[in-house]
């Protein structure tokens, strides 16, 4: 029954004192927050800690949620700010260990295909300057608009536009290069 309620309704429930309803919010968004954490810290353990930290922060700030933008955007913004601040604080110098872990919700055939595509996009994104990579994540995976990404990150829309364009072009080259003919059948 909780699954049918929208985020804003659940938030209201929590503000009425039903803390347990927060579990639904966690269930809905932990994967997205985890992925953002991975983008910031490039390792699983820190990404899990990040998820914990972001949701606790979100719970503490919930009383200040005004519903001016969708809850999901509000949550992603908290996560983004948390990530930016801790990356600044700890200046990660660890090398990129891009472990592409398959997600388990697609059929085996699809999964294989997605895995390949996923690897290609990660390669394409990795050709971009580090601080803009997350913009491309927001565009492709999170489905945010240029304007939303700009208001989240503070980067100008044109910067986001040109980085997304570069990633798409790179991706196109990778798609036609690595699996040449095969790719048209995908």
Residues of the shown chain interacting with another protein in the complex, contacts defined by CB under 8 A: 14-20, 22-23, 26-27, 30-32, 34-35, 38, 44, 47-48, 51-52, 55-56, 59-60, 62-63, 99-104, 114, 117-118, 121-122, 140-141, 143, 145-146, 161, 165, 168-169, 171-172, 175-176, 183-184, 186
* Helix 146-153 and helix 71-90, axial crossing angle in degrees, nearest 10: 50
Separation between Cα atoms, residue 37 and residue 49, nearest integer Å: 8
- Kindly state the DSSP code that residue 1 receives in the 8-state scheme: -
Beta carbon of residue 164, minimum distance to another protein (angstroms, whole number): 8
Separation between Cα atoms, residue 56 and residue 161, nearest integer Å: 33
Beta carbon of residue 130, minimum distance to another protein (angstroms, whole number): 16
Nearer residue to another protein within complex by CB, 12 or 77: 12
Nearer residue to another protein within complex by CB, 77 or 118: 118
């Amino acid at each position: 029954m909780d699954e049918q309620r929208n985020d804003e309704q659940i938030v209201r429930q929590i503000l009425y004192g039903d803390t347990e309803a927060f579990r639904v919010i966690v269930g809905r968004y932990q994967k997205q927050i985890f992925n953002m954490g991975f983008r910031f810290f490039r390792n699983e353990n820190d990404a899990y800690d990040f998820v914990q930290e972001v949701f606790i922060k979100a719970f503490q700030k919930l009383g200040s949620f005004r519903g001016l933008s969708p809850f999901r955007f509000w949550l992603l913004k908290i996560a983004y700010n948390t990530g930016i601040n801790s990356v600044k604080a700890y200046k990660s110098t660890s090398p990129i260990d891009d472990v592409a872990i398959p997600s388990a919700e697609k059929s085996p055939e699809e999964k294989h295909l997605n895995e390949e595509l996923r690897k290609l996009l990660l390669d394409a994104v990795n050709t971009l300057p580090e601080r803009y990579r997350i913009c491309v994540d927001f565009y492709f995976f999170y489905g945010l608009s240029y304007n939303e990404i700009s208001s989240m990150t503070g980067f100008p829309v044109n910067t986001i536009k040109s980085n997304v364009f570069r990633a798409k072009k790179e991706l196109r080259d990778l798609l036609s290069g690595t699996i040449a003919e095969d790719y048209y059948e995908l």
